[in-house]
């Protein structure tokens, strides 16, 4: 029997939201602690955020469906609890059995966003696990990771024994079988490294020339594959269907049941990493989704069901799915929530039926103000479509509209920045087209700007990030132009965007920088109140690095540290898209024309139909 942590009543009374730490929620899993493999599934953020993550919920249920494994959850404690745990020498522990992190066989982290990397180190440290994989022995847990940032996990590669690149569901079963049959960590890693989707960082090193230019990769284990191929679930009907998600005892960010309609996106926006790394599109069968919805309602008692995917309107059976779902949901008082809909007539009809959308308002992710810049980024939205959608929204009674866009996109000029305010004021004009009797409640128009960050595996992976002072100037220009009583303008933190950009295209030289940030008190950097730009700049400088080393534009001839991975989409395709962007030319949606991006080797429906 492994040692567990005791949480006294006095401790729980002294912290905000003790429900974050006690476990015992509906559908959480308790097993015999002598089970062969104890797995800690770690989310590097607080409970409310981690509990809202669908991928983790799927993995939790999938691992616990095996008799030989017990999967438990571990989240980063909030600042007050973290401080109390330090004072009382309490190690980081799991919610289900209160077992310290170091007593698990496998500790798995999700790499959801770059600014969580220091939190991962903080969790390892407070879990009494050596940070670097080279410092761990067979007595320490196997520390693994997966998630979207695994497509370039180089800044954190030295901390993990194994990284899963791609969708883990099918590979995970093989890895758990292999782990159960292996005599040592070393023999497990050697065998695992030959599986598609497995990256064992210690088996590779990056080669640089005297000028610090990356020249190639060297394998330190001759059987390790190069490149490392991404793994994915080719047919979603083979994927594990989660039917018993945990129902939290306190409010979380996304507090509802979720149906995942499909993976991938056919649209190819050039800044969007998700649009590339989840290719090709794979849909879940409609009848399976309806069955899943029934089971979820029975197992949870939730009053909201969300339809999830990158671009929900693109699900081929959306109309019949919602026709089948609404008669099931309505009598039980369950609302349907519909994120990411395209703003056409059909969607508005659907949103009227889904009562929850009126409260939340409508979102227009236009990304750029001018049509020229939208062509450049391959965002196929016409100004007329936006204005027509706004007219339909206003006459349908919606008064809360949100516009999402990016500043600093490659090729953006002052005219493009001004075009943002132009389109917003045209939307206000559309409101004034309503008859006076319908204008009693004025609209609220929120304009939310984020800063463009060049991400690996996108056509914009070669782009230079805009200098900080230039961002400030453009924000100021837009702030002045957006002054109106109906408009609220907000923008994301510039300094956080710069550090996210550093880590996104980062390399292994950043590992000691992350440790320095941790040692200087860093953790939970994705929260503005915990983030310190100076701390990051000092840590970078301490290792002879600057933000410019990573935010700079890249030559098309350059080798990237993430080129040791093969996500399916080819560099040749990405470069062609980069070149087309330079000419302000759009590409077709792969639903209408295959662009031969390389993902067709996965034999998806889309690719089979169009690849030729
Ligand atoms: S529509 Fe564009 S931004 Fe949205 S997921 Fe698809 S590629 Fe990304
Ligand atoms: S191979 Fe063609 S159809 Fe398949 S994802 Fe790529 S562009 Fe789309």
Pocket test for ligand 2, best of 281, 611, 612 (most atoms within 8 A of CB): 611
| Per-residue pLDDT tens over the stretch 22-54 | 999 999 999 998 899 999 999 999 999 999 999
Alpha carbons 290 and 508: distance in angstroms, whole number: 45
Contacts of residue 598, Cβ cutoff 8 Å, sequence gap at least 6:
568, 569, 570, 572, 573
Whose Cα sits closest to atom 1 in ligand 1? 267
Ligand nearest to the CA of 381: 1
Q: Closest ligand to 600 CA? A: 2
Residue 274 lies in a domain: no
In which residue are the tokens 């030729």 written? 612
Whole-angstrom distance, CA of residue 174 vs CA of residue 172: 5
DSSP lists the bridge partners of residue 40 as 72, 107
Please report the pLDDT score of residue 111 as a whole number.
98
CA of 281 to the centre of ligand 2 (A): 8
Note the pLDDT tens digit of each residue in 363-387.
889 999 999 999 999 998 899 989 9
In whole angstroms, give the CA distance from residue 499 to residue 548. Answer: 11
Is 440 a member of any domain?
yes
Q: List pLDDT tens digits, range 460-504.
A: 999 999 999 999 999 999 999 999 999 999 999 999 999 999 999
Mutate which of 277, 378, 599 for ligand 2 pocket (most atoms within 8 A of beta carbon): 599
Q: What's the 264 CA to ligand 2 centre distance in angstroms? A: 10
Token pair of 581, please? 């962007």
Query: Lowest-pLDDT range, 213-227, 395-409, 589-603?
Result: 589-603
275 CB under 6 A from ligand 1?
Answer: yes
**Which positions ≥6 away from 295 have C-beta within 8 Å?**
243
Q: Distance from the CA of 315 to the center of ligand 1, in angstroms?
A: 14
Does the pLDDT at position 550 exceed 90? yes
Rounded to the nearest angstrom, the distance between the alpha carbon of 328 and the centre of ligand 2 is 35
Q: What is the Å distance from ligand 1's center to 113 Cα?
A: 17
Is 61 within the bounds of a domain? yes
Give the number of residues written for the chain: 612
The pLDDT of residue 521 is 96
Q: Considering every ligand atom, which ligand is closest to the CA of 458? A: 1
Picking from 492, 510, 528, the residue at the C-terminal end of a domain is 492
Cα(441)–Cα(400) distance, integer angstroms: 10
> Is the confidence at residue 314, as pLDDT, over 70?
yes
Nearest atom, ligand 1, residue 367 CA: 3
**Does a structural domain hold residue 408?**
yes
Q: What is the average pLDDT across 456-462? A: 98
pLDDT grade, residue 294 (50/70/90)? very high
Q: Which token pair is 392?
A: 């339909």
The domain tally of the chain equals: 2
Q: Is residue 597 lining ligand 1, measured as CB closer than 6 Å?
A: no
Cα(490) to centroid of ligand 1, in Å? Answer: 22
**Residue bearing the bigger pLDDT, 253 or 409:** 409
The predicted pLDDT at position 239 comes to 85
**Token code pair at residue 164:** 């899963």
Question: How many angstroms separate the alpha carbon of residue 276 from the centre of ligand 1?
Answer: 9
Band (288; pLDDT cuts 50, 70, 90): very high
Q: Which two tokens stand for residue 169?
A: 């569901």
Mean pLDDT of the chain: 93
Instruction: Report residue 421 CA to chain centroid gap.
Output: 29
Which residues are registered as beta bridge partners of 282?
263
Domain CATH number, residue 393: 3.30.750.200
For range 331-354, the mean pLDDT: 75
Say yes or no to pLDDT of 612 above 50: no
> Is residue 609 scored above 70 in pLDDT?
no
Q: Which pLDDT score is estimated for 236?
A: 86
Q: Which of 492, 525, 551 marks a domain boundary?
A: 492
Measured in whole angstroms, how far is the alpha carbon of residue 604 from the centre of its chain? 22
- pLDDT above 90 covers a percentage of the chain that reads 82
| pLDDT score for 384 | 92
Helix, coil or strand: residue 448? strand
The predicted structure's pLDDT at residue 324: 95
Q: Which domain holds residue 78?
A: 9-229
Instruction: Work out the percent of the chain whose per-residue pLDDT is above 70.
Output: 95
Whether residue 568 lies inside any domain: the answer is no
Q: Using a 6 Å cutoff on CB, does residue 569 contact ligand 1?
A: no
Say if ligand 1 is within 6 A of residue 267 CB.
yes
Distances (CA, A) of 455 to 190, 268, 463: 31, 14, 9
- Is 48 a domain residue? yes
Q: Above 90 in pLDDT, residue 540? A: yes
CA 306 to centroid of ligand 1, rounded, Å:
19
User: How many angstroms separate the CA atoms of 562 and 228, rounded?
Assistant: 10
Give the number of the atom of ligand 1 that is nearest the alpha carbon of residue 378: 2
Q: Is 272 in the pocket of ligand 1 (CB under 6 A)?
A: yes
Torsion, Cα 202 203 209 212, to 10 degrees, reads -30
SS3 101: helix
- Which of 229, 252, 273 terminates a domain? The answer is 229
Expressed in angstroms and rounded, the spacing between residue 379 Cα and the centre of ligand 1 is 8
DSSP sequence for 505-522: T--GGGHHHHHHHHHTT-
Copy the structure tokens of residue 329. Answer: 């949901």
pLDDT band at residue 261 using 50, 70 and 90 as cut-offs:
very high
Q: Does residue 98 fall inside a structural domain?
A: yes
Query: Is the pLDDT score of 103 beyond 60?
Result: yes
Distance CA 591, CA 579 (A): 22
398 pLDDT band, cuts 50/70/90, is confident
Which pLDDT belongs to residue 356? Answer: 52
Indicate whether 317 belongs to any domain. no
- Distance (Å, whole) CA 256 – CA 307: 10
| Cα–Cα nearest to 343, from 291, 302, 391 | 391
Assign residue 181 the CATH number of its domain. 3.40.50.280
Which one has a higher pLDDT value, 239 or 258? 258
Cβ of 455 below 6 Å from ligand 1: no
How close is the Cα of 452 to the center of ligand 1, in Å? 14
Find the range with the poorest average confidence among 189-193, 249-253, 426-430.
249-253
Ligand 1 contact via 146 beta carbon (within 6 Å): no
399: its two tokens: 């008064």
pLDDT of residue 167: 92
Predicted confidence band of residue 611 (pLDDT cuts 50, 70, 90):
very low
pLDDT band at 604 (very low <50, low <70, confident <90, very high): low
Q: How far does residue 283's CA lie from ligand 2's centre (Å)?
A: 14
- List residues near ligand 2 (CB under 6 A): 266, 279-280, 590, 594-597, 599-600, 604, 606-607, 610-611
User: ∠293-294-300 over CA atoms, to 5°?
Assistant: 85
pLDDT at 439 over 70: yes
pLDDT in tens, 128-186: 999 999 999 999 999 999 999 999 999 999 999 999 999 988 899 999 999 999 999 99
Pocket test for ligand 1, best of 261, 263, 269 (most atoms within 8 A of CB): 269
* CA angle in degrees (0–180, nearest 5) for 573-578-584: 125
Task: Give residue 282 CA to ligand 2 midpoint distance, Å.
Answer: 11
Ligand 2, atom 3: nearest CA belongs to which residue?
A: 607
pLDDT the model gives residue 78: 97
400 beta partners: 444
Residue 198 Cα to ligand 1 midpoint, Å, equals: 27
pLDDT at res. 459: 97
Q: Which ligand is nearest to the CA of 268?
A: 1
Q: Where does the pLDDT of residue 359 fall: very low under 50, low under 70, confident under 90, or very high at 90 and above?
A: low
The ligand 1 atom nearest the CA atom of 276:
7
Judged against a pLDDT cut of 90, whether residue 594 lies above it is answered with no
What are the backbone angles phi and psi of residue 225, rounded to the nearest 5°?
Answer: -75, 150
CA 162, 459, 308, 286 dihedral sign is negative
């Amino acid at each position: 029997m492994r040692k567990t942590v005791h949480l006294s009543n006095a401790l729980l009374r002294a912290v905000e939201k003790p429900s974050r730490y006690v476990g015992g929620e509906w559908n959480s899993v308790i097993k015999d602690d002598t089970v062969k493999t104890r797995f800690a599934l770690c989310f590097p953020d607080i409970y409310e955020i981690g509990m809202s993550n669908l991928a983790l919920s799927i993995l939790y249920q999938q691992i616990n469906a095996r008799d030989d494994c017990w999967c438990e959850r571990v989240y980063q404690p909030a600042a007050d609890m973290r401080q109390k745990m330090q004072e009382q020498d309490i190690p980081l522990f799991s919610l289900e059995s209160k077992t310290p992190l170091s007593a698990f066989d496998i500790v798995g982290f999700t790499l959801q966003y770059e600014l969580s990397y220091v939190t991962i180190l903080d969790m390892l440290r407070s879990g009494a696990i050596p940070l670097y994989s080279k410092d761990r022995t067979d007595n320490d847990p196997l520390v693994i990771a997966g998630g979207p940032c695994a497509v370039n996990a180089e800044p954190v590669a030295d901390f993990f024994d194994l990284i899963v690149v791609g969708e883990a569901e099918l590979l995970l079963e093989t890895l758990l079988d292999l782990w159960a049959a292996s005599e040592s960590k070393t023999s497990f890693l050697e065998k695992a490294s030959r599986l598609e989707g497995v990256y064992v960082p210690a088996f590779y090193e990056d080669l640089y020339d005297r000028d610090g230019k990356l020249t190639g990769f060297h394998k330190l284990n001759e059987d390790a594959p190069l490149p490392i191929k991404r793994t994915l679930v080719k047919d979603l009907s083979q994927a594990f269907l989660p039917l018993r998600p945990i129902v939290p005892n306190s409010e979380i960010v996304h507090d509802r049941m979720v149906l995942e309609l499909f993976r991938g996106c056919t649209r190819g926006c050039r800044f969007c990493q998700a649009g590339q790394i989840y290719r090709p599109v794979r849909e879940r069968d409609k009848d399976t989704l309806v069955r899943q919805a029934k089971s979820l309602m029975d197992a949870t008692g939730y009053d909201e069901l969300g339809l999830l995917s990158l671009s929900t309107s693109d699900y081929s059976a959306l109309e019949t799915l919602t026709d089948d779902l609404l008669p099931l949901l309505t009598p039980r008082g369950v609302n349907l929530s519909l994120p990411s809909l395209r703003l056409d007539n059909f969607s508005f009809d659907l949103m009227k039926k889904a009562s929850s959308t009126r409260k939340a308002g409508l979102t227009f992710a236009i990304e750029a103000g001018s049509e020229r810049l939208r062509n450049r980024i391959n965002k196929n939205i016409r100004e007329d479509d936006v204005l027509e959608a706004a007219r339909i929204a206003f006459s349908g009674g919606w008064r809360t509209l949100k516009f999402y866009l990016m500043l600093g996109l490659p090729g953006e000029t002052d005219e493009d920045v001004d075009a943002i305010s132009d389109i917003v004021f045209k939307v206000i004009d559309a409101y004034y087209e309503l008859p006076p009797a319908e204008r009693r409640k004025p609209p609220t128009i929120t304009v939310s700007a984020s800063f463009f960050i060049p991400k690996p595996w996108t056509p914009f992976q070669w782009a230079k990030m805009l200098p900080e002072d230039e961002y400030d100037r453009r924000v100021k220009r837009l702030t002045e132009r957006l002054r109106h009583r109906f408009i609220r303008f907000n923008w994301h933190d510039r300094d956080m965007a710069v550090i996210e950009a550093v880590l996104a295209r980062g390399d292994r030289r950043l590992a000691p920088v992350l440790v320095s940030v941790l040692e200087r008190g860093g953790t939970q950097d994705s929260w503005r109140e915990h983030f310190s730009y100076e701390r990051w700049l000092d840590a970078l400088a301490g290792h002879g690095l600057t933000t410019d080393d990573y935010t700079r534009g890249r030559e098309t001839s350059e080798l990237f540290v993430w080129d040791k991975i093969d996500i399916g989409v080819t560099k040749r395709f990405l470069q062609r898209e980069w070149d087309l962007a330079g000419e302000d030319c759009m590409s077709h949606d792969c639903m209408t024309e295959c662009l031969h991006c390389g993902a067709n080797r996965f034999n998806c429906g889309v690719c089979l139909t169009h690849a030729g």
